[in-house]
């Protein structure tokens, strides 16, 4: 811009100003309630903070403050610093205020602090402290290394927690950033020979660079090799991800279903039609569902797939170890369909294994990140919400309808936690726990009940416990207090829903089994760590709880 504008700082300032306005608009437009990832990580949405700093640089080369202005800058800088620290303590990554002006305000505060620190006074003395300057030199390395170290150093691995764990994480982060800075970054950038920080960094000497150019070349290749070796060693032997976090983009049940021996019930969403490709004795179902055409990213809703062989074996082994559950009647031939979210997906291997022990048939059609009836939801309290929940109505119906047609279940096992979130109606959230929010969620649950009972199935609705202690608690940026409280709201909604449909819905308090005294939930139950990640069941835990649950499923089927 300086070249095109022939050195005009006014042109440069104007370009920066236009970029700031465009970036602020991009952040506001791309922000979605409960789904801030695009607005937070998008360069276009965040560049205004850097451009505001560029405007400060232009100001500081064109304006020399007088004595009175310097005093005012020092005072303003000190005040801005205090406000910055307060913002640090109260801001959250999902707050709408940050994306609708808060980011701009914070960047301006930073500029005021910088301008104040450039003037003689207490702020300059405080922020010019030697160790702080050194931390500033390492800041990018600290940024790069802190996250993998936090993810790697978890309580179950190092057997410490709280302040001791954070101290260990900080120490290793500084060690890694320091070694990286002096042994790799500075030598490669400036053509220096590697040297450890046993003193001040040597000033850059352009004359010496010509004789040290090969240093970068010889350091870069080993650095790449070491990086690859670390990646390979740290990932070798890793087990496959659990089924409940590695789903499929296509429903488990296809539209071509073998014709049943005798059936008089056909749902309104399906009809018989001729087809030149259908197999003998089958019928093609024309499902009135919107086409499922999405671009998926990490964390987006997905269909639960078939359990991995290792998960099935673990659940079967535990079911055989537990023996046949004591039932009030025969479960032979009972058809059970597990529906819900990823929690239901993780629970299915246990239901399948225990069901096989008593002759019941089981199937599942769960959808990760989508509640049974939640639909498009958000969070006004900083709880965890799945990105792109607006896809959930299409995905849930696309999974459930074919499964209901194929299975015609006697019992639907309903396990879902997202009904605790704030429903979005016409682009605006209705707050869960308020009369309007709860009424909307109950309306959605009633509509889902109509769909899943098309063939006369009974519904067993299980309560969902708040998360158990887990290694991800310190890295998932979720407001734990608000998240725990949301499960109490979910319990209230589930109980009201079950009370409205006493002939169709049986409420089973699974949450009490896992968290008998409410949050905070215990890490283990009867000596078994049921939910290592806080929410999802291990196959062993799923079998243990399914063995407890099955008698209640059988009783509900006989109502």
Element (H, E) at 337: strand 335-340
Q: How confident is the model at residue 85 (pLDDT cuts 50, 70, 90)?
A: very high
Give pLDDT, residue 460: 98
Q: What is the pLDDT of residues 16-42, one digit of tens each?
A: 999 999 999 999 999 876 668 889 889
pLDDT at 185: 86
Which SS3 state, helix, strand or coil, does residue 380 take?
coil
In order of 50, 64, 109, the CA distances from 79 in angstroms are 22, 22, 9
Angle at 424 between CA 421 and CA 428, to 5 degrees: 125
Express each pLDDT in 507-518 by its tens digit. 999 999 999 988
Compute the average pLDDT of residues 478-493. 87
Residue 293: is its pLDDT beyond 80? no
Three-state DSSP class for residue 482: helix
Q: Please write the tens of the pLDDT for every residue from 492-505.
A: 999 999 999 999 99
Would the pLDDT of 408 be above 90?
yes
Average pLDDT estimate for 126-135 = 91
79 pLDDT more than 80:
yes
Q: How confident is the model at residue 281 (pLDDT cuts 50, 70, 90)?
A: very low
Q: What is the mean pLDDT of the chain?
A: 85
pLDDT tops 50 at residue 275: no
Which segment, 265-274, 277-286, 428-437, is predicted with the most confidence on average?
A: 428-437
Specify the higher pLDDT residue, 536 or 155.
536
| Distance in angstroms (rounded) separating the CA atoms of residues 243 and 125 | 56
Q: Assess whether pLDDT exceeds 90 at residue 220.
A: no
**pLDDT tens, position by position, 2-21:** 888 888 999 999 999 999 99
- 233: pLDDT confidence band, cut at 50, 70 and 90? confident
Give the integer Cα–Cα distance in Å for 377 and 286: 29
Confidence of residue 256 (pLDDT cuts 50, 70, 90): very low
Angle between helices 67-90 and 103-117 (to 10 degrees): 140
Average pLDDT in the 35-60 region? 92
CA distances from 179 to 169, 219, 223, 424 (A): 16, 13, 12, 49
What pLDDT shows up at residue 327? 86
Query: What is d(CA 35, CA 30) in angstroms, rounded to the nearest whole number?
Result: 9
Query: Could you tell me if 538 and 470 are in contact, meaning their C-beta atoms sit under 8 angstroms apart?
Result: no
Q: Give percent above pLDDT 70 in the chain.
A: 84
Considering only residues 269 and 316, tell me which one the structure prediction assigns the higher pLDDT: 316
- CA distances for 52 relative to 10, 24, 45, angstroms: 15, 11, 13
pLDDT at 379: 83
Question: Does residue 270 have a pLDDT over 50?
Answer: no
What pLDDT score was predicted for residue 207?
Answer: 57
Q: How far is 31 from 45, CA to CA, in rounded Å?
A: 9
Share of the chain above pLDDT 90, in %: 58
260 CB neighbour count, 10 Å cutoff: 13
Residue 377 forms beta bridges with which residues?
Answer: 423
Q: Tell me the average pLDDT across 338-355.
A: 96
- Tokens standing for residue 217: 């070349």
Q: What is the rounded average pLDDT of the residues 361-389?
A: 88
User: Would you place residue 385 in the very low, low, confident or very high pLDDT band (cuts 50, 70, 90)?
Assistant: confident
Confidence band for 266, pLDDT divided at 50, 70 and 90: very low
Task: Extract long-range pairs of 23-30: CB within 8 Å, 24+ residues apart.
Answer: 23/47, 23/48, 23/51, 24/48, 24/101, 24/103, 24/104, 27/99, 27/103, 28/99, 28/100
Strands (E), 67-193: none
Choice among 155-159, 183-187, 269-273, 368-372 with the minimum mean pLDDT = 269-273
Provide mean pLDDT across the span 425-441. Answer: 93
Q: What phi and psi, each to the nearest 5 degrees, are found at residue 379?
A: -135, 130
Give 91's pLDDT tier (boundaries 50, 70, 90). Answer: confident
Q: Mind listing the pLDDT tens digit for each residue in 136-148?
A: 999 999 999 998 8
pLDDT greater than 80 at residue 211: no
pLDDT band at 81 (very low <50, low <70, confident <90, very high): very high
Which band of pLDDT confidence, cut at 50, 70 and 90, is reported for residue 167?
A: very high
């Amino acid at each position: 811009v300086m070249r095109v504008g022939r050195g005009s700082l006014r042109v440069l300032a104007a370009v920066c100003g236009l970029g700031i306005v465009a970036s602020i608009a991009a952040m506001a437009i791309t922000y979605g309630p409960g789904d801030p990832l695009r607005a937070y990580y998008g360069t276009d949405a965040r560049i205004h903070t850097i451009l505001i700093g560029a405007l400060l640089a232009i100001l500081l080369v064109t304006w020399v403050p007088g004595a009175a202005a310097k005093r005012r800058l020092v005072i303003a800088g000190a005040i801005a610093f205090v406000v910055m620290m307060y913002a640090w303590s109260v801001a959250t990554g999902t707050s709408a205020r940050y994306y609708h002006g808060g980011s701009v305000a914070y960047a301006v505060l930073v500029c005021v602090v910088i301008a104040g620190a450039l003037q003689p006074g207490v702020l300059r003395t405080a922020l010019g402290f030697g160790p702080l300057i050194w931390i500033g030199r390492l800041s990018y390395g600290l940024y790069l290394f802190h996250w993998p170290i936090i993810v790697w150093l978890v309580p179950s691995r190092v057997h410490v927690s709280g302040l001791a764990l954070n101290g260990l994480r900080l120490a290793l982060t500084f060690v890694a950033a320091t070694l990286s800075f002096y042994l790799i970054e500075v030598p490669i950038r400036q053509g220096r020979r590697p040297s450890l920080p046993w003193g001040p960094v040597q000033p850059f000497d352009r004359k010496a660079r010509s004789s040290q150019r090969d240093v970068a070349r010889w350091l870069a290749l080993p650095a790449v090799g070491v990086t690859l070796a670390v990646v390979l060693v740290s990932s070798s032997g890793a087990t496959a991800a659990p089924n409940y976090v590695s789903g499929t983009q296509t429903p488990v049940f296809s539209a071509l279903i073998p014709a049943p021996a005798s059936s008089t019930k056909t749902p309104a969403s399906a009809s018989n039609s001729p087809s030149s490709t259908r197999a003998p004795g089958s019928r093609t179902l024309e499902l009135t569902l919107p086409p499922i055409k999405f671009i998926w990213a990490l964390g987006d809703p997905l269909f639960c797939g078939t359990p991995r062989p290792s998960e099935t074996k673990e659940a079967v082994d535990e079911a055989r170890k537990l023996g046949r559950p004591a039932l009030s009647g025969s479960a032979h031939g009972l058809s059970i369909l597990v529906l819900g979210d990823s929690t239901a997906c993780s629970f299915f291997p246990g239901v399948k294994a225990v069901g096989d022990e008593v002759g019941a048939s089981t199937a599942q059609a769960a959808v990760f990140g989508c509640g049974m009836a939640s639909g498009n939801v958000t969070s006004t309290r900083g709880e965890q919400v799945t990105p792109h929940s607006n896809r959930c109505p299409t995905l849930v119906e696309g999974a459930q309808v074919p499964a209901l047609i194929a299975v015609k279940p006697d019992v639907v096992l309903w396990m879902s936690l997202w009904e605790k979130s704030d429903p979005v109606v016409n682009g605006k959230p209705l707050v869960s726990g308020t009369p309007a929010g709860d009424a909307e969620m109950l309306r959605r649950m009633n509509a889902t009940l109509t769909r899943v009972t098309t063939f006369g199935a009974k519904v067993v609705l299980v309560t969902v416990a708040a998360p158990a202690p887990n290694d991800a608690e310190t890295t998932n940026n979720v407001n734990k207090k608000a998240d725990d409280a949301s499960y109490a709201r979910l319990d209230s909604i589930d109980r009201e829903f079950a009370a409205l449909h006493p002939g169709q819905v049986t409420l089973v308090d699974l949450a009490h089994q896992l968290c008998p005294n409410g949050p905070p939930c215990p890490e283990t139950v009867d000596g078994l760590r049921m939910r290592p990640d806080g929410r999802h069941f291990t196959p062993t835990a799923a079998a243990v709880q399914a063995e407890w649950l099955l008698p209640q499923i059988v009783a509900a089927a006989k109502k």
